[in-house]
Every structure is written in structure tokens, then in C-alpha cells.
Amino acid sequence: MATNEFLMIEDKILAVLRDIFDPEIPVNIYDLGLIYSVEVDDQNFVNIDMTLTAPNCPVADSLPLEVRDRVAAIEGVTGAHVELTFDPPWDKDMMSEEAKLDLGFL
């Protein structure tokens, strides 16, 4: 895969992740720090490690599926897998500066 094509797919993935919001916090899941890693292999299959703000989050079943389905639907992506983890546990220090500012933490 050409480097430009790879970068375009990564940009599309980040754009999609920034368009998915935690229903309880008005910040996208990427800036909220819920995405721990995004890896695209040579076949354009995407593996994502993510967490939730709490293990008992009401969207624990649906949010990872939404992430998987929306990323898998990106043109050029052959599929996606989302691994949900709570190690390390999420805390507000994982948020981007922009998210902290939006939520009044700065």
C-alpha cells in the first residue's frame, strides 16, 4: 500500500472516531481518551483498543460495536475489530487539552 493511501485511511479513521460521542459526555471518544490504539495492517484491516469511562457504562455493549461498524464502513478499510479493555482504567487525564477545555477542566 502506498504511504499516501495509508495516511488517507488513517485520517478517515480519526475523522470517524471524532464523530462518535460518549452519550453522557459531550466530547467525542477520541478526544475523550477512550481510544488507546489504532493499527491498520497491510490488508487495511483495522484493530482498535478502546476503553469506556467506567466498566458499568450504559453503552458498554453498543459503543464498541458502533466504533467497529463505522470504521469498517470507511472506503478502503477491509474490516475492523475493537478490543475493549479497562487496563489502564480511564481517567480525565487521558482527555485531550481541547476536551478538558470544553468540559471546564482547564
Q: What is the pLDDT of residue 5?
A: 65
Fold of 3-102: GMP Synthetase; Chain A, domain 3 (3.30.300)
Q: What is the pLDDT of residue 58?
A: 87
Q: What is the pLDDT of residue 2?
A: 56
Helices (H), 22-103: 63-72, 97-102
Q: What is the pLDDT of residue 24?
A: 82
Name the stretches of the chain with pLDDT < 50: none
How far, rounded to the nearest angstrom, does the alpha carbon of residue 63 sit from its chain's CA centroid?
10
Q: What is the pLDDT of residue 4?
A: 65
Q: What is the pLDDT of residue 49?
A: 98
Q: What is the pLDDT of residue 12?
A: 96
